[in-house]
Structure 1
Amino acid sequence: MMKVLIAIDSFKGSISSIKGSEAISLGIKDIYPEAEVLTLPLADGGEGTVEALVQATGGKLVEKEVVGPLKETARAIYGILGDGKTAVIEVAAACGLPLVPYSQLNPFLTTTYGVGELISDAIEKGCREFVIGLGGSATNDAGVGMLQALGFRFLNENNEEVGLGAKALLEIQKIDRLHVNERLKECTFKVACDVNNPLYGPEGASYVFGPQKGATPEMVKQLDLGLKHFAEVVLYESGTDIHNISGAGAAGGLGAAFSGFLNADLQSGIELILEIIEMEKNMKNTDFVITGEGKLDGQTSMGKAPLGVAQLAHKYNIPVLALAGGITEETAVLNELGITSYFSIVNAPMSLEEAMDSKMAYNNLRRTTNQLFRLLKAVNAETGINIR
């Protein structure tokens, strides 16, 4: 009996990993009704990570009211995995760019406070292990807001607690840890971080990511000064260098906060996700692996989800089929990196809007899979050669 593992990322803005996997599964079953099909929804630490890990582990989603990036009330969702003790949080759920109207983008004002509230809520629910997906934040506050929600107090020269947002960083002179949540000592944090930017400087959070969050060139300079000042205070107070940590500048400096204050392990997003869902264990003894994402391009070869899956499959000589909405010329290198064959699911001239319609994407995924496995079955019947 044929065994197929489906492990695709979401097609961003089009179809979720879960719905896409469903469509592919149906395409296989159309031709091989008896096939054993295992689906492990994928993510790389960004959008879709909570949904993918909750689905893969039989966990649950939790909704929590938090302080949003503009200090407004926001509803954020995080996950508790099937083990009941691991929480998975996408920081963008509490402080992401989509939560801020374009006209109000201002990284001087936005805060990560809601991220800390999600962590606190998960601790209250018994979680002591955390998987954090960085990326997509509208903030540049070095994670100070998150730390404030966890009980850290950042004081100015008058021993008064500073406010929220990056504008407060230059005021910080002291760090008071007396009221920090005691249970944080029992917690471990694994952080999906796929950038290696330092906290400040030309390659730091403000200069590289600030403009997309609404920062003007002059604001970028001030934001960068705030991050540098904060790093100097932390170094003086605790001897911890949060600037030179690889990934410190991720999510407006949240990488620095997680590593420097919460002893987090920052690692490749896809490697972390593959470890949690036990991809390698589930991959053994399969005949085919199907992976994919919305667009296969040069970035895919730099460590995105489909490549991580393909490299694991390569260890066991398992053929890998990759499906995508769009494919660029740069994709050819993927054949040398473990992907056996790749295919676009767009089978007729259509606009980008039409191609990204969720129903269209669903049908195209099913149809393309159907045709591929129809070919495999015909070849197998004609030649008698094992499908592997």
Structure 2
Amino acid sequence: MRRIVIAPDSFKGTITAADAAHALAEGWRSVDPSAELVLRPMADGGEGTVAAFQEAVPGAVRMPVTVDGPAGTPVETAWLLLPASDEAPGGTGVVDLASTSGIELLDGLRPWDADSTGFGQAIAAALDHGVSRLVLGIGSSSSTDGGTGMLRALGARFLDAAGAQTPPGARGLAALADMDRSGLRTAPETIVLSDVTNPLTGPRGTAAVFGPQKGLTDAADRALVDAGLLSLAGLLGIDPATPGAGAAGGVGGALVAWGARLLPGAGEVSRLIGLAQAVEGADAVVTGEGSYDGQSGDGKVPSYVAGLASDAGARRLLAAGRIATDADVGLFDQALSLTAIAGSAASALADPARWLREAGRMLAVETG
């Protein structure tokens, strides 16, 4: 009986990592019904982080919560409660920014007003429950607010020169004059999952690099936000050059100031869900993501999983929504593109579960 580990990332905006893993498993099982299929959906801190932990950790419980989304409208979401342990007697709360303040929750870009309040509200809900540890995924952010919305939801106040609270989002950064920490909640042990190493400010900072994706298309606007983030760094008491401080529009830096540790997302998720142990003794490991391209080999989920498979002597298999011409397919023994299988990108995007099932079937045949 063959042992097959299935550990994809989410296919951004189309299917979660957990659903992708189930679809691949269904396809594989149709060819090889006797195989032991071990599902370990992965994440690197972005979309699907909560779902990945829910699938992989026995006893995990979704905790529904309503938060103020990035546009200020209510969002029905959830954080995840992991069982108590010696390390975390009150349990661990897993919260992802993507499902609380993520860019997918906007109906249009709001470069000045979108903020991270909902993420902070979900964190506060986990603290209210009494968790001893937090695991926070900060990918797929919608705003460049420096994490001010999140910290406000945790009790901080950001003030202008007259002592009034500043507006939310990037709009409020230019008026920042003071920060009142007196009501800020104390952080428990907090791990932040992110593969972004950009500093908070400067030519590689969050406004310069990620601002255009969030609507800051004018260079003068980006410079204004960058200056506001520099002032914020002074109020937070952090070095704006800290690697990862620019993650999620500056949420990374705000979390460092709160007392959190920034860690590489894929590696830490893998450790927390026991992926290396699952891969030991496997005959093959299947991974995937929506777009496998030149950046995927730099610590992203597929390359990380491929490394674990190689160390375990297992076959390395990939099913991706698309495979770009600059992608390093040499990391894998077999690589399939849903776009190629479906005949077009539109078909692959319209029904990713169908084509993932077909990819799982084809991989089982080709490795049989």
TM-score by length of structure 2 reads: 0.90
Q: Which amino acid aligns with 2:276?
A: E
2:205 is aligned to 204
Distance 1:349 1:65 in 2: 38
CA gap 1:86/1:363 in 2 versus in 1, 3 angstroms: same
Distance 1:375 1:93 in 2: 37
How far the C-alpha of 1:347 sits from its partner, in A, is: 5.6
Contact 1:108 1:223 in 2 (8 A): no
SS at match of 2:321: strand
Q: Which runs of 5+ in 1 are unaligned?
A: 235-239, 378-388
Q: Within 5 Å, give how 1:366-381 maps onto structure 2.
A: 366-377=357-368
Deviates more, 1:76-85 or 1:283-292: 76-85
CA gap 1:206/1:60 in 2 versus in 1, 3 angstroms: same
1:248 paired with 2:242, answer no
Distance 2:117 2:321 in 1: 37
Q: For 1:296, which of 286, 292, 297 is the aligned residue? A: 292
1:88 is aligned to 94
1:269 is aligned to 265
Contact 1:301 1:334 in 2 (8 A): no
Q: Within 5 Å, give how 1:323-362 maps onto structure 2.
A: 323-331=319-327, 333-335=328-330, 337=331, 339-346=332-339, 350-358=343-351, 361-362=352-353
1:21 is aligned to 21
1:306 paired with 2:302, answer yes
Distance 2:299 2:211 in 1: 24
1:384 is aligned to none
Distance 1:267 1:197 in 2: 13
2:67 is aligned to 66
Which of the pair has more CA radius of gyration?
1
Q: For 1:284, which of 280, 283, 292 is the aligned residue? A: 280
SS at match of 1:43: coil
1:131 paired with 2:135, answer yes
CA gap 1:345/1:180 in 2 versus in 1, 3 angstroms: closer
2:45 is aligned to 45
Once the two structures are superposed, residues 83-133 of structure 1 have per-residue CA deviations (whole angstroms, 9 ceiling, x without a partner) of 47212222132222233332xx33322222222111110111122211211
- Once the two structures are aligned, what percentage of the paired residues are identical? 34
Distance 1:205 1:121 in 2: 28
How far the C-alpha of 1:212 sits from its partner, in A, is: 2.0
Q: Within 5 Å, give how 1:125-274 maps onto structure 2.
A: 125-181=129-185, 184-185=186-187, 187-215=188-216, 216-234=218-236, 240-260=237-257, 262-274=258-270
Once the two structures are superposed, residues 263-305 of structure 1 have per-residue CA deviations (whole angstroms, 9 ceiling, x without a partner) of 2111211111111111111111211111122232212211211
1:100 is aligned to 106
Contact 2:174 2:225 in 1 (8 A): no
Distance 1:39 1:120 in 2: 31
How far the C-alpha of 1:375 sits from its partner, in A, is: 4.7
1:385 is aligned to none
SS at match of 1:162: coil
1:109 paired with 2:83, answer no
Contact 1:170 1:230 in 2 (8 A): no
SS at match of 2:234: helix
Q: Which amino acid aligns with 1:316?
A: A
Distance 1:219 1:345 in 2: 39
Distance 2:106 2:29 in 1: 43
CA gap 1:35/1:123 in 2 versus in 1, 3 angstroms: same
Distance 1:217 1:245 in 2: 23
Distance 1:267 1:121 in 2: 23
1:386 is aligned to none
Distance 2:303 2:183 in 1: 44
Once the two structures are superposed, residues 136-163 of structure 1 have per-residue CA deviations (whole angstroms, 9 ceiling, x without a partner) of 2221221111111111123333444434
How far the C-alpha of 1:173 sits from its partner, in A, is: 2.8
